[in-house]
Amino acid sequence: MSGFSLFDLNPEQEQAVRTTEGPLLILAGAGTGKTRVITMRVAFLISQGVDPSHILAVTFTNKAADEMRERLAKMIEPSQAKKVTMSTFHALCVRILRQDIEKLGWKKNFSIYDEGDQMGLIKKIITRTAAKDEKLDPNVAKNLISKAKNNGWREVSPGDEKTLAGAVFARYQAELKTLNAVDFDDLLLLAVKVLSEHADVRDRWHRRFRYLMVDEFQDTNRLQLELVSMLAKPAEGTGGRPNVAVVGDDDQSIYGWRGAEVSNILEFEAHFPDPVVVKLEQNYRSTNAILNTANFLIKNNPRRRPKKLWSSAGDGDKVRIVGMSDDRQEAEFIANEIAQRSVTESAPHEEFAILFRMNAQSRLLETNLRQLNIPYRIIGGKSFFDRREVKDLLAYANCLVNTDDDVSLLRIINTPARGISSNTVEKATDFSAKQKCSVFDVLTNEAFRGTLTKRTVESLDRFVEMLDRFETKLNTPLSDHAAVLREMMKETGYLDELKRTCKTPQEALSRETNLMDLLKSFEDYQGRSSEGLRGFLDEMSLRQEREEDDDDARGTGVTLITLHAAKGLEYPHVYLIGLEEGLLPHDRSKLEGTVDEERRLLYVGITRARRTLALSWCRHRIRYGSPMPCTPSSFIKELPPEWIIHRDATQILQAPVSEAAAKSKFGALRAAVERAAG
């Protein structure tokens, strides 16, 4: 059952696993067995006598952390595996801050604001701060704030407040603090701050973690690098070297637009001097036709660590570049071909994936796949956490845990309607701003209540009493927190109101199910953790990932996915569509000077394919309703001529056909007829 063997590794992988002391940079190309190396390195460390609780493995996403945990549990004693800390950057920061955030002036029960909460707050501040003729896009403001936090303008200088954006930033920060809340960037920022300003805190975490590993290092931003440095670097003068192993691939850095710094991996030696550098170049995923296409393309990037993927799997089929007359033909062609190939090559639908730059491109594909009755699943889309009822319940819960959390309080203060009008709410927020206290405190403030009608005051009393009562219930020792929430949903009439406002019974059922699912997962959480509601809310805030496919069609069908979301995944047969100038590379990237990142994006897409790969481009594409002429992506000229083959969809469709191909043509014909009829 359990166990691991270094004999299963190639020489480079083995070197990566065996290098346990000092800085280590593992340059792991696509499909080179990265996760295997990381988990085996952890197992190896433990086999060498390292206390598992001294090992920290940081990942970017929960999914990656979960996968690592699972794999490790198969290699070593599960009780040992459990002691290893495997966590995302943000979850690690929450752990640090829950202990010591009071040193920075927040209370221990701080709330974590997700992007939605953050946007709500920013919008509110903009409308309050902006003069009549001034306007500021809240999205722009959000990005500015995030950039500011990541670039270390920790505080705003007085001069910055003259601009609207500067003023909004300053007020946003101040307001978060009075709300006793932090956003995602703050988690990193404040963790770095508390570690750098408090030697005792730093020492404690130093003693805790002796061996650090960081996955997807090319995606780390400046604060994440600082955090790693802070945790890894032995105190000045001790002469020790940091045991920090990072794994990543600069060629797969595709998140620069949200703060990732490729320089973290490109200039690793500057941050951690004299590291051992191991390159993993043997690929276990793709054919050499695919790998050479990828290698040849990525060579065009100037700033990179040279790498050349190779495989012992043979050459494979050439990579097809298919020219299409327009995006309709592109979708139709691909749907038809998948229908055909699933028969002639007896390839199940789940072996196919269609990759694209923009979500909007999936629409036509969906239409065509549906017409041919080909099952498909779209990765991405709306998140479970964006659903109104889920946010409402979490807001109720947040109010019980942190009464200063105005954003949550305002969300539920009159949901369902309980006689607290928007007018009253506005008065209350104004009052709280003047008094520099939370809205909840204002509700019981006599001076404020004096300005209201008797009726309104009664409504407020009922609301406050309700929150107080459930808060007390929650804090009763041994109370079942999930049951308290469930009771609250009933008693406040929220559940009834939710069902009442649904147009269809199906909708009512699905919304109620969402609520019950959330409560169920809270019960599960209570079963495995003693952190209570606060811990559950942390986990919910930090697990924002989109849920996988809708129940029944799990893991079946053709995958439709963006290039970004496809990173880390693989499919036997890949169609990569829309290789047109302006789409890939995207127009905006030329404006912003990030064409290199677009090239890496295409590189990521190409290296998803195991056996066959087709790239397509259209001569016309419908944009904003009308057809626009397109030219093939400049990246196509960068591909190796001997490993690719150019085709044209129109010619293929007109060529004499085999029986199987004839079937697909019939399908297209039937589809066309159905379209005309419908």
Partner DNA sequence: TGCTTTATAGTTTTT
Partner DNA sequence: CTATAAAGCA
- The catalytic residue positions are 34-35, 215-216, 252, 608
286 neighbors 319 (Cβ within 8 angstroms): no
Biggest distance spanned by C-alpha atoms of the chain: 87
Least distance between DNA and beta carbon 643 (Å)? 27
Least distance between DNA and beta carbon 361 (Å)? 8
- For residue 609, CA distances in Å to 287, 320, 377, 571, 605 come to 9, 12, 18, 5, 8
Cα-based torsion angle of the residue sequence 121, 123, 124, 130 in order, rounded to the nearest 10 degrees: 130
Binding residues: 28-35
Q: Which is nearer to DNA, 220 or 340 (CB)?
A: 220
Buried b (16+ CB within 10 A) or exposed e, 406-438: bbbbbbbbbbeebebeeebeebbbebbeeeeeb
Q: Which is nearer to DNA, 180 or 541 (CB)?
A: 541
* SS3 (DSSP) at 564: helix
The span from the CA of 355 to the CA of 344, in Å, is 22
Q: Which is nearer to DNA, 379 or 657 (CB)?
A: 379
Q: Which is nearer to DNA, 45 or 355 (CB)?
A: 355
Residue 452 β-bridge partners: none
649 neighbors 329 (Cβ within 8 angstroms): yes
Q: Where are the beta strands (DSSP E) in 189-280?
A: 211-214, 244-248, 276-280
276 neighbors 243 (Cβ within 8 angstroms): no
Q: Which is nearer to DNA, 178 or 359 (CB)?
A: 359
Least distance between DNA and beta carbon 66 (Å)? 9
Q: Which is nearer to DNA, 150 or 287 (CB)?
A: 150
* Residue 310 CB neighbour total at 10 angstroms: 13
Least distance between DNA and beta carbon 149 (Å)? 11
Task: Name the site residues for DNA (rule: CB under 7 A).
Answer: 60-63, 88-91, 114-115, 123, 184, 257-258, 357-360, 380, 414, 417, 421-422, 501, 542-546, 562, 564-565, 586, 588-589, 592, 624-625
Q: Which is nearer to DNA, 417 or 509 (CB)?
A: 417
The span from the CA of 243 to the CA of 240, in Å, is 9
Half-sphere exposure of 27 (CA within 13 A, CB side): 21
Least distance between DNA and beta carbon 639 (Å)? 21
DSSP state of 240: -
Least distance between DNA and beta carbon 360 (Å)? 6
Residue 555 tokens, joined: 């893991």
The span from the CA of 395 to the CA of 412, in Å, is 7
Half-sphere exposure of 501 (CA within 13 A, CB side): 12
* Residue 637 CB neighbour total at 10 angstroms: 9
DSSP state of 548: P
* Dihedral angle sign, alpha carbons of residues 616, 622, 627, 629: negative
The span from the CA of 261 to the CA of 418, in Å, is 49
Q: Which is nearer to DNA, 339 or 369 (CB)?
A: 369
Query: Which residue is associated with the tokens 């808060």?
Result: 471
Radius of gyration of the chain (CA): 28
Least distance between DNA and beta carbon 584 (Å)? 9
* SS3 (DSSP) at 598: helix
Q: Which is nearer to DNA, 26 or 583 (CB)?
A: 583
Q: Is 366 left (phi over 0), alpha (psi -120 to 50) or beta?
A: alpha
Q: Which amino acid is at 360?
A: A
The span from the CA of 552 to the CA of 556, in Å, is 9
Residues 6+ apart with CB under 8 A from 264: 217, 218, 220, 221, 222, 224, 225, 271
The span from the CA of 281 to the CA of 46, in Å, is 26
Least distance between DNA and beta carbon 198 (Å)? 23
* Residue 625 CB neighbour total at 10 angstroms: 6
Residue 354 β-bridge partners: 560, 575
Q: Which is nearer to DNA, 360 or 655 (CB)?
A: 360
606 neighbors 588 (Cβ within 8 angstroms): no
Q: Which amino acid is at 62?
A: N
113 neighbors 176 (Cβ within 8 angstroms): yes
Least distance between DNA and beta carbon 478 (Å)? 30
Least distance between DNA and beta carbon 512 (Å)? 18
Q: How far is CA 401 from the centre of its chain?
A: 26
Least distance between DNA and beta carbon 597 (Å)? 8
Q: Which amino acid is at 673?
A: V
Q: Which is nearer to DNA, 280 or 413 (CB)?
A: 413
Residue 344 tokens, joined: 């002639």
Q: Which amino acid is at 378?
A: I
Binding residues for ATP: 28-35
565 neighbors 356 (Cβ within 8 angstroms): no
Q: Verify cis geometry, omega within 30 degrees of 0, for the bond prior to 585.
A: yes
